[in-house]
Structure formats: C-alpha cells, structure tokens
Structure 1
Amino acid sequence: MSQPPTESTPTWRIVEAPHPTDLDSPDAWAYLGIAQVEAEVTTEIHGYDDLADEARDVLAGMDSQEYTTKQRFVAVRTDAPETPGPQDVLGHLAVALPTSSNTHLGELSVQVRPAHRRHGIGSALWETGEQVLVDAGRTVLFTDTQHGTEPPPGPGALEARTGAGRVPADDPGPRFVRSKGYVLEQVERHSILPLPVDPGALDRLRAQALAAAGPDHRTHVWEDDVPEQWREQVGTLFTRMSTDAPLGDIDFREDPWDARRVGVWVEELRAKGHGLLMTVAEHVPSGTLAAFSVLDYPEDRPAFAYQEDTLVLREHRGRRLGMLVKVVNLDELAVRRPTTERIHTWNAEENDHMLAINIDLGFTPAGGYAGWQKRVGA
C-alpha cells in the first residue's frame, strides 16, 4: 500500500514540456498550461494580461531555434492523469542559450501560480534551469522580473546598479532572485500610451521632426514583412540595437543580424499571430537606413500593441529621426489598426533621450522591467 504524502513529500514533479505540432495536439497541455500561469502572474502584477505570452507565442518561440536553443519545463501535479491538463501545470521554466553570439550567456525565467508559491516549486524549477545553463558552459546567467509600480527612494526600494530605476525590495520576484545570488543591474521603465494621441500635439511633433530631418530623409512604412532589398540594412539596425541601447553592466555583447535573421524574425512574429508595422528613415543621398521603429501586436487582441525597438544610427543623430519614425508609425497604426487603445513600451531608466521622446508623445509610467545577472565562472 502506498503511503500518504507528508509535508516533505512534493505534490508536484518537474518534466520537460513536450513540443506539440500544434495546439490541438494532446501534447499541447504544457504550453496551454504555461499560458495560464503567464496570465495569472502578469494579471497579479499589472492588473491585466496584455503582457502574458499566449500558448501560440510559446509554440512559435519553441519552433524557432536557429539562433537560440530553448527549453521549457513545467511543474505538474503528481496526481495529474497520464496526459495532464493545462490546469495541472503549477509553474514553468524557460531556458534560452544563445548560439549565434553571446555564447557565454544563458537566460532563465520561472513563474509559479500565485496560489502555489512557497512550496518549493520555484526553487526546484530554478535549480533545473541553472543546471542546464551551467552544464552548457554558460558563465553569465540572466533573468528578469516585472513590476506594476516603481517605488520612491527609501528603505522599501532596491536601486539598480546603474543608479537609475528602482524595484520594490519586498516583491516576490526580487526576494526570490536575490536569494539565488542575482544582482539588480538595470531597470527599464514600462510606459503606456493611451490612444488616440492628441492630434494637435502629434501635428506639432511631426512638423518639428520633418523640419529637422530635412529633404535628405524620407520614410518608408512596411506592414507584416520587410522587403528583401532592405533586410540587410534592417539587420544592421538590429545589430546596432544590441550595442547602442543602454545595458548597464549586463554582459550582453554584440548580437549580429543579417538579412536571413530578419526573415526568421518576421516568420516567428507571423507564426505567433502577430502583426508588424515598421517605419524606417532613409538617408536619401547615401541610400542608408538611418533609423527605424517597430510596432507589433496580436492580431486577435485588438486593444493593444507593443512599441518594440527604436534606433537612430549614431552617425545620423541630431535630426529628430527617432521622433519622426515614431510619429509616422503612430499615424499608420491609426489608419491600419484603429481599434488600438494603448501601446506598451520599455526603456532603460538611464536612457534620458528616448524617455523624453516618449514623454512628449504622451507615454506615462506603468511599472518596470528589471534585469538581474549572476556570474558563475571565469
């Protein structure tokens, strides 16, 4: 006769998530469960689930392994049936091993349903993830936490090593990752732009940006794809994002992109069911793409979008091209996706220039994204 579980007997087990061919497969239970956990955790933090990965995001991300090797693990109830259901997933672990660059670095992320915390699930998943990364020879480990508010300076706040940005010291995420030896390196401000933007303000910003850019610059707008003839230059812009955006002391090194990688990125976005809107600024005399800004959005969730990368090449700065590509993208979004009510974006708290652009556009603070790092070898 089997013995009843005791307080020291786990009521869950950790398994590697099966990778289904599609979300209708019986093996999709783990990815569907991961999406449930994501929704619970992000709703607890922010009060909404805009920022939660959906099951199709997990599936498409795991299908795309060309530049990063990814693994997913889940904590499952021990009393779950042979084929568990999504509700049997109590927590999950995502592990990422970059393979085309930054091969010293490994990333991990753990989430546990709020009702099942403080039972060792998070620690067991974390140990599994760290072991995968260390066994792969990674010497710098990176993770992140999300926060719905940024606290004022004081004893309840933990400040990033950059000296800009804080997180609540007693939030579950910071408490947990600090206990695992991670250091808060950087905080990004999460901001939200309510739409529509005041037309008068947008007209003023557009006019200023066009005047500063002058006749040597023109914009192009692309929806759901990047034309083949421009992909190599867009790859250069993404490469420069990896070196030019503020990172504090996070040991993230140049991440080269080329035309092929841009195509893979587009394919993954589309596989997730996301739309893409990209505005670029071309320096006409040289034919160089000097700036870009990217919006993406889940096509079946029409109320919100994500403002992703925006960059102006260093040699083309001082002409308000960052504002120009953002304003044009907003103009196009209003025409092509008028249902959008809000845009989420993230910027390093020390990135005064980009934050100033966003404030001028009407973005307001909505919390933070914290980057944590731990070194485990020479």
Structure 2
Amino acid sequence: MSPPTESTTTWRVLEAPHPPSLDSPDAWAYQGIAQVEAEVTTEIHGYDDLADEARDILAGMDSQQYTTKQRFVAVRADAPETPRPQDVLGHLALALPTSSNTHLGELSVQVRPAARRQGLGTALWETGEKILVDAGRTVLFTDTQHGAEPPPGPGALEARTGAGRVPADAPGPRFVARKGYALEQVERHSILALPVDPTLLDGLRTRAVQAAGPDYRTLVWEDDVPPDRREQVGTLFTRMSTDAPVGDIDFREDPWDAQRVGVWVDELLGKGHGLLMTVAEHVPTGTLAAFSVFAYPKDRPAFAFQEDTLVLREHRGYRLGMLVKVVNLDELAVRRPATERIHTWNAEENDHMLAINIDLGFTPAGGYAGWQKRVGA
C-alpha cells in the first residue's frame, strides 16, 4: 500500500523499494535508513552498536512469515529519480504480526537530527498510523531509546508500572506523548564490560552448579539449533512471550514451533550475525528447562547482545538462570575472545533478572521505553 505523498518544497514520502541484494540500485533506501539509524543511535548513546545496518534491514524485510513488515522513507524533494542514501532524511518501520497478536501494530519513526522540525516525522507517523488502523489494528505500540535514566522529579516521566523513567523533554517522549501514547514500561539497558573477573565468575558458576545439582546439565549450540531440539526451544520462546514482564502492554502469547525457530536462525545468519545458545536440560525428563542467547554481528567483534534468558516456572529455584548465563559467557570468551562489551535489556520491574545481571557486573546504560495507544474496541 502506498502512503499519501506530502507536497512540500523540501521532502516527500515514498515506500522503500525492496531490493534483491544490497548491490541493487534499489538498495539506496535501506542504505539510507541505516545511515539514519547510525546518526540517531549515536546521538542518544554516543556509539552505533545498536543501529541496524543495511543488511539487517534487508534480511528482516525478507523474513515475512510471521509478521508483515513495511518500510517508508522521507527523501529530499530535489532528490533524483533514484535517490541516493544521503537523500533519506527519515524513515518509518511498520510491523503487523500475522501468526498471533493480530490486534497489535508496531511503528517506529526516526529522523536525522539535522532534518527535524520540518513536519517530516509527523508525516511519516501519520502514514504509519493510517496503515495500521486501516488494517484493523486496535492497539498501537512504539518505543523510544534513552542514553540515561533521569532522577525522579518534574523533568522525568515515570512508566505506569511504577518502575523506570524517561526524560520528559527528550524529542522522542515529547513527540509520542503528543500523539496520544502512554508510557507503559521502561526496560533498563545495561552493559557488561569484558572480560569478567575470573574470580567473580568462578564463584557464581560454582554456586549455580551446586544449586542445579546432578538433575541438570548444560548444552551449548553455535549458529544453529539441532533439529530434534527446535520444538522444545520453541516452547521456551513461547513461554518468554508470556512469562517476561510487559506491564499493561497488550502483548499476548506468541506461539513458536520448530519451524519458527528455524526461520529465526536463518534470519540471524542472513544478517551476517551469529548466535550462541546455552540451554539447561532436566536430565530425568529430557526437558529443556532454561536457555540464554547471545547474538552478534560476525564482522563487528567488539560487542554482542544478550538476548532472551528464561527459566521455566516449574524449574525455578535451582539458579538455572545464572547457570546458563555463566556458561554462555564462558563459551563466548572461548569462541569470540575479541568481544569487549555485551548489551542487554530488562524490565525495570524484573528484580530477579536484574539482580542476576548486577551480580555478573552489568551496569546501567540508559533505557528502552515502551509506549501504547488504543484506537478501537
């Protein structure tokens, strides 16, 4: 679906073409989006670790099995017929889940800092909201990123969970609040500097192994999940969708099966990313009781992302969360020794997982805020 085109003297909105590869002339839009991502995340955090690269965008848009995704760009009005990456002034990303949560629509808008206050972000936003509402989505979700959490007071907005704050005068919160979105939840962004003190890690590992006892063992997989284990890993991802705190954000169960786990692996590898997964198996039953995942761009060894970590409720109380995290760190040090830092995110109200990360040495580095707006019954 094509958006309404803005008629101004400085920019226009276009649906981003989907190129077959980044060598295609049509790749200008994804390359431009990557430039915008890098500028915006560097402005917020002082580095571009968290910015999507053009290949991430291409691989993500190739993968539409469980979510319909669309991309739009605002380009200079005087750009040539085939614009250049530098002609992209801002972008809109849309996600419409199709296998579950079909009431939900997600949108994200970013604008180059030098191109703000021209109405460009509003035009992209209105394009996105119209598409989502026309598609029947009744709950809209967006996010903002922040490089630091402000102290309590008049300059801070507090999430409705009662845990976590964002700066009230930052461009993102001001913009989305004016659009009618409520700040539902804040996730703490934390960074772990590597290497971790071996003495600290040895102590945490010893206590976790003792608590787990002989009924649990760990398994480690790199860049794949064995086919005969994918169904159980899918169960862990499904439970992640229901067990992780989400406040009042209307996220509902998101079922995963073996096929979806395979699609997830393929998408990561298609981005040029690697993955490292440690699972804890309950030996008497063969059940995968816990897991922890690292993902990372293979050609940028300085950093990695700590993705999902979960312990099934029926297997809690044995320090399995700490166990899979420590083993994954051990394996990362062996398989990717150049890694200097790990990024992770946890709900500010998730005291248990935050405590594990603090014990490992993670330190606060800002926040990720989730905003929601209801638009229909």
**Which AA in structure 2 matches 1:108?**
L
Q: List aligned pairs for 1:201-220, cutoff 5 A.
A: 201-220=200-219
- Counterpart Cα distance in 2 of 1:308 and 1:170: 30
Number of aligned residues:
371
What is the aligned partner in structure 2 of residue 65 from structure 1?
A: 64
Post-superposition CA distance 1:39-75 (Å, at most 9, x none): 0000000000000000000000000000000000000
- Counterpart Cα distance in 2 of 1:9 and 1:254: 43
**Which AA in structure 2 matches 1:243?**
T
What is the aligned partner in structure 2 of residue 331 from structure 1?
A: 330
Post-superposition CA distance 1:186-224 (Å, at most 9, x none): 000000000000000000000000000000000000000
* Counterparts in 2 of 1:120 and 1:283: CA distance versus 1, 3 Å: same
Post-superposition CA distance 1:239-275 (Å, at most 9, x none): 0000000000000000000000000000000000000
What is the aligned partner in structure 2 of residue 356 from structure 1?
A: 355
Post-superposition CA distance 1:113-156 (Å, at most 9, x none): 00000000000000000011001000000000000000010000
Q: In angstroms, what is the RMSD of aligned CA positions?
A: 0.6
**TM-score, scaled relative to structure 2:** 0.98
- Counterpart Cα distance in 2 of 1:13 and 1:153: 40
- Counterpart Cα distance in 2 of 1:238 and 1:102: 15
**TM-score, scaled relative to structure 1:** 0.98
What is the aligned partner in structure 1 of residue 369 from structure 2?
A: 370
What is the aligned partner in structure 2 of residue 186 from structure 1?
A: 185
**Which AA in structure 2 matches 1:113?**
R
**Which AA in structure 2 matches 1:234?**
V
Post-superposition offset of 1:10: 3.9
Match of 2:263, SS state, is helix
Q: List aligned pairs for 1:198-277, cutoff 5 A.
A: 198-277=197-276
What is the aligned partner in structure 2 of residue 53 from structure 1?
A: 52
**Which AA in structure 2 matches 1:49?**
D
Q: List aligned pairs for 1:139-218, cutoff 5 A.
A: 139-218=138-217
- Counterpart Cα distance in 2 of 1:168 and 1:285: 50
Q: Percent same amino acid among aligned pairs?
A: 87
What is the aligned partner in structure 2 of residue 279 from structure 1?
A: 278
- Counterpart Cα distance in 2 of 1:303 and 1:217: 32
Q: Any gaps of 5 or more consecutive residues in structure 1?
A: 1-7
Post-superposition offset of 1:337: 0.1
Post-superposition offset of 1:97: 0.2
Match of 2:160, SS state, is coil
Match of 1:253, SS state, is coil
Match of 1:22, SS state, is coil
Post-superposition offset of 1:9: 3.3
Post-superposition offset of 1:340: 0.1
What is the aligned partner in structure 2 of residue 5 from structure 1?
A: none
What is the aligned partner in structure 2 of residue 98 from structure 1?
A: 97
Post-superposition CA distance 1:291-310 (Å, at most 9, x none): 00000000010100000000
Match of 2:196, SS state, is coil
